[in-house]
Amino acid sequence: MFIFLYAPIFALVVFSFNDSKSMAHWGGFTFKWYERLIHNESIMSALYYTIIVALISSIIATIVGTISAIGIHKMKSKNRKLMLNINYLPVLNPDIVTAVALMSLFVFLNVEFGFTTMLLAHIMFNIPYVILSVLPRVKQLPQNIEEAAMDLGAKPIYALRKVILPQIKPGIISGFLIAFTMSIDDFIISFFNTGNGVSNLSIEIYGMARRGIKPEINALSTIMFIVVLGLLLLSNKKQSIVRGEK
């Protein structure tokens, strides 16, 4: 199973150093595709919009999703179940349905398609995932912990900032990472809710697929894989150090 999953990634990394444009044969070792990647304006522009949209939408979705998760947890049982079912709908819905629905909303509101519509679509798309990530951590909090903090003199905002948020911090971080990953990976939501001059990597690669994938994409994918792998190793090392200290 692991061979099946990682063999295509290994092939992509290897052929990012291939001197030939074709992946059918090896033409020699080279770094030229990495050099051309830096000077490819369309790919670099798509990478810029991908990172900016993913970062901004993830931050906003994490803030809104965290507040929503705390609010849902405080609701009565019947209202909480209703809100959770509403929250599940965008997650269970096919992406094409959500994308067309958001596109129809922007058309109805007469909003010009472009960076703003793509950003709003990603925010609305990510919020349910953040809620689902933060809510289990909120449920693990001791009952009436904020009332106890306020009995000791803390104001509600101070209790939220110094007592509640530190307790649910792992869920918030997980929600942010999920939202960031979903945003970078998304194609359908972006495709239906972008405008002229604004394109992320998924849309750019889709456009290339009809003409032939350029080797620069192999180089970019290799860089992204190495960055993710490096972050994963650093995270595991940090967790090992923390466990060792304990």
Per-residue pLDDT of the chain in tens (246 residues, 90 and over written 9): 989 988 888 888 888 888 887 777 787 888 888 888 888 888 899 999 999 999 999 999 999 999 999 999 888 888 989 998 988 888 888 889 999 999 999 999 999 999 999 999 999 999 999 999 999 998 888 877 777 877 777 787 888 888 888 889 889 998 998 999 899 888 999 999 998 888 888 888 888 877 777 888 888 889 988 888 887 888 777 666 656 655
Q: At which residue do the structure tokens 């990510």 appear?
A: 126
Tokens read off for 96: 């094409």
Q: How many helices (H) and strands (E) in the chain?
A: 13, 0
The backbone torsions φ and ψ at residue 110, rounded to the nearest 5 degrees and listed phi first, read: 60, 40
Quote the CA–CA distance of 24 and 143 in Å, as a whole number.
62
DSSP 8-state code for residue 25: S
Q: Which residues contact 225 (CB under 8 A, 6 or more apart)?
A: 9, 12, 13
Tokens read off for 218: 């192999």
Q: For residue 181, what are the CA distances in angstroms to 130, 176, 210?
A: 12, 9, 25
Tokens read off for 38: 């830096």
Q: At which residue do the structure tokens 């809620």 appear?
A: 131
CATH number of 41-201: 1.10.3720.10
DSSP 8-state code for residue 162: I
Q: For residue 164, what are the CA distances in angstroms to 58, 138, 186?
A: 21, 8, 32
Quote the CA–CA distance of 29 and 14 in Å, as a whole number.
9
* pLDDT score of 213: 76
Instruction: Give the residues across from 29 on adjacent strands.
Output: 18
* pLDDT score of 15: 85
Quote the CA–CA distance of 221 and 15 in Å, as a whole number.
11
Tokens read off for 117: 């519509």
Where in the chain are the domains?
Answer: 41-201
* pLDDT score of 176: 92
Helix or strand run (H / E) with residue 127: helix 115-139
* pLDDT score of 244: 66
